[in-house]
Amino acid sequence: MSTSAASQPSAPAPLLDLQALVVAVRRRRRLWSCLALLGLLVGAAVAVLMPPPPTAVTTVLVAHQADQPNDPGTLIRTDVGLLHTTRIAGRALQALGSPETPEDFMRDYASIGLSNNLLRITVTGADDAQATARAKALADAFVADHVRRVREAADAEATSLLEQRDRMQDELAQVNKTIGDSSPQSGPKASANMESLFTRRAELGSRMTDFGRRAAEAHIGTPRLIAGTQIVDDARAVRHSVPRTAVTNAGVGLVLGLVLGLAVAAVGAVVADRPVLRREIAANLGASVIAESRGTHRRSAGPWRRRRTRAARTRLATTLARAVRDCAEPVSLLDLGCARTTSVIALDLARALGEEGPVVIVDGLPGRRLAHHHPRPGDPAVVDGASAAGPSRQERRLGVGSVAPGAAWTDLQYLGTRTVLVVRAGHAGAAWLHTVARQLADLGIAVIGVVVIDPDPRDRTDGTLWDGAHTAPRGRDGRTSGRGGTDRPRPERPSWARVPDIDQEAR
C-alpha cells in the first residue's frame, strides 16, 4: 500500500533555524562592521584624549607569623584591606605633610597581592614626582604599621605568659608556706597530705619554668618578621606609551564593538523574523522562486562587471518572458521592498515581449516611477493606473504595482489577474508575506512565481514547492493555463499548505 507525498505529515519547523540566523547576521554586516569600527575609534580616541594620570608603583615583601605553604592568599588579602584604612593613609599623608584627607587619598591608590607575601601598591598623583613620593610614603607607612603590629603581638603574648608565671609563683609561695607551717605528725593521713603538697610544689615549679621559657621565645621570631617585611621594589614612575595604549584600547574596542554588533544583529534577526532564504520566502508566500537578481542600486566597478550585469538582466527578462508568454490574462509585477528594481525588470520584460507584439506598461507604483524615466527608441508605452480600468486594448498589458505596507489592495486586480512577486530578501517579515499571499488569494490573483532581489550569494536552499498544482500558481480555481487552453478546475489546496491568517497565527 503506497501513500502519496501530499498525505504524509511534514516535518516540524525548528524553533531556531541556525542557517537562516547566520545568513541574516551576515546580511547585516554593515551594522556590526560599523559598531566594530566605532569601538576601534572610541578605544583609540580614549587613549589619546584621556591619557592615564601619572602613576608610580612599588612592591613590598610582607612576612607573616602564620605563613603556610598552602595558604590560599587570606593573609595577603588582609594586608590589602589594611592598606585601605584611614590609619595608614593618614600616616602617609602626615609623612608627606599634605593637608589632604585620608578618605580622598584612598581614592588615588590601589593594591593587589602578587603572591602570598608580595604586595604591589599603585599610586597616582599630579605628576611623576608626586606619585613617586606618595608611593614611597604609603609603603613606609604600611611597613611601619606591620612592624608595630608584629611587635605588639609578641609583647602581648610575652606579657600574658609572664602574668601566668607570676600567678603560679604566688601559688608556689603559698604551698611552701603551708609545708613550712605544718607540724610533724605521724600517720597515714598526714603523710598523704604532705606528699600531695610536695607534688603540687614540683608541678608549679615545672610550669613556672615552662612559662618563663615561652615568654622568652615569644620575642625570638619577631626580629625575623621585622627584617622580612621590607620594600623590595622602590617607588618608581610608570612610563605610559600613547601609541601602545592606543593600539591596545583600539583592539579591545574593536572586539567589544564586534561582539555587540553581532549580538544586536542576531537578536534583531530573531525578533524581526524576516525571511532571507529562498525556501523561507517560497514557503511564506506559497509560490516557487523562479529567478533571483541583484538590486539596481549597486554600481559596477568595471566594464566586465557591467557586462555581467547586462547578461544577468537579459537572462532574468528571458526567464520572465518564458513564464508569462503563454498567459492569456494580463500579468503584473508586484514590488515588495524594491520599487526601483521592479521598474527596471518591467522595462526589460516589456522589451523582451515587445519583439512579439506591442506591449503597454500600466504604472501602478507609488510616485509613478516608470512615468518619469527617459524612454529610448522602441521602448513600450507607459500609462497610469486610471488607463488600466478603461476599455481593453489590443496590446499586451504588463502591470507594475506594489504590495508594500500601505498599498491599495483593490487596485491590484486592475493591473493583472496573474502576477510575479518581486521581493527583496530580508525586507518584509514573515507575517507580512502571509498577508500578501492571503490578500492575493482573496482577490483571485494567481502567483506565477517569485523573483528574489539581493539574495544571499551563499544561499543553496531550494525555493521550489514540490507539491505541484496544490501550491503554485495560487488564485481562483478554474483559470486557463495558457492561450488556447481549456478550463480545467484546479484541485483544492490541502489544509496543511494553506497560508494561515495572521490572527490565526497569533492564536
For every residue of 62-117, DSSP letters joined together read ---TT--TT--SHHHHHHHHHHTSHHHHHHHHHHHT----HHHHHTTEEEEESSSS
H or E segment to which residue 420 belongs = strand 418-424
| Inter-CA distances, 437 with 364, 366, 446, 467, 487, Å | 19, 20, 10, 17, 24
pLDDT tens-digit readout, 362-380? 888 877 666 556 666 667 7
| Inter-CA distances, 492 with 14, 93, 475, 478, 496, Å | 28, 91, 11, 11, 12
Going by C-alpha positions, the residue among 147, 220, 205 that lies closest to residue 175 is: 205
Contact (CB, 8 A) for 312 and 303 = no
Residues 6+ apart with CB under 8 A from 108: 123, 124, 125, 134
Cα 183 to its chain centre, rounded Å, is 96
Contact (CB, 8 A) for 100 and 93 = yes
Residue the block writes with cell 610533724: 184
Cα–Cα distance, 246 to 48 (Å, whole number): 7
Three-class SS of residue 287?
coil
pLDDT tens-digit readout, 29-85? 899 999 999 999 999 999 888 888 999 999 999 988 877 777 778 889 999 999 999
- At residue 393, the pLDDT reads 54
Sign of the torsion angle spanned by Cα atoms 61, 67, 70, 72:
negative
- At residue 121, the pLDDT reads 95
pLDDT tens-digit readout, 332-365? 899 998 888 888 888 888 888 887 778 888 888 8
Contact (CB, 8 A) for 435 and 412 = no
Q: Where in the chain is the domain with CATH 3.40.50?
A: 274-506
The rounded mean pLDDT for the chain is 79
Q: Which three cell numbers stand for residue 164?
A: 601566668
Going by C-alpha positions, the residue among 344, 378, 383, 339 that lies closest to residue 360 is: 383
Contacts of 382-389 spanning 24+ positions with Cβ under 8 A: 385/411, 385/414, 385/415, 387/362, 388/362, 388/364, 388/414, 388/415, 389/414
| Residues of the chain above pLDDT 70, percent | 80
Q: Which three cell numbers stand for residue 303?
A: 566594464
- Band the pLDDT of 506: cuts 50, 70, 90: very low
β-pairing, 118-124 with 55-61?
antiparallel
Average pLDDT over residues 274-301: 79
At the top level of CATH, the class of 274-506 is alpha beta
- At residue 72, the pLDDT reads 79
Residue the block writes with cell 603523710: 191
H or E segment to which residue 446 belongs = strand 446-453
pLDDT tens-digit readout, 90-124? 999 999 998 999 999 999 999 999 988 899 999 99
